Amino acid sequence: MFNILPFLLSFLFLASCTHDTLKKSTEEKTELNTINELYKSTALEIKVYFENPNLDDSSYVIRYVDKASPLKNSIQEYLNGLTPEEKKLGFETSNFGNNSFQVKIEKKTALINFKSSDLSITGPEQILNFNYNISKTAEQFDTVNETEICVNDIYNYQMAFLANEEPVECPFSF
């Protein structure tokens, strides 16, 4: 004969487990929403420019950076490179080994001095693309109208690296 008591006990046990799981799930969702709201209040959506031969117009990816220092964080996002997903979409980077930098804004001009211990330049197009991408990334902000770039304290780094011109010392220092 079928005994109903074990069945009811099993049902009550499952019901209590389900209730605890749902309660935890709701608490986790609430905590995640709180974290997301906090992040949104401190993050800014920005464009980071990269090359993409598959696109006709300016090529950029959307990133989120801390509002406290958006220009510096945007440039750092460029140096961080592309995600595997962005690479699959055809984006490419022209960073030629720059791994750290200093930046400041004077009279709506972004002054950026990149440092690299291991430059890897494949040709003039790479340097032109790097310059363009950094400038476009910086000039998306209302506080920046133009960009001046030095690499390893060389102001005319394009010509010094490619045409063996005498390097001109970077006119700004930090």
- Residues constituting the chain: 174
Q: Rounded to an integer, what distance in angstroms lies between the CA atom of residue 74 and that of residue 66?
A: 9
pLDDT given at position 11: 56
Q: Which residues of the chain have pLDDT under 50?
A: none
**CB within 8 Å of 119: residues ≥ 6 apart:** 96, 97, 151, 152, 161
pLDDT given at position 66: 95
150 sits in which H/E element: strand 146-151
pTM: 0.76
- Per-residue model confidence as pLDDT tens digits over 99-116: 899 999 999 999 999 999
pLDDT given at position 117: 85
CB atoms within 10 A of CB 97: 14
44 sits in which H/E element: strand 43-49
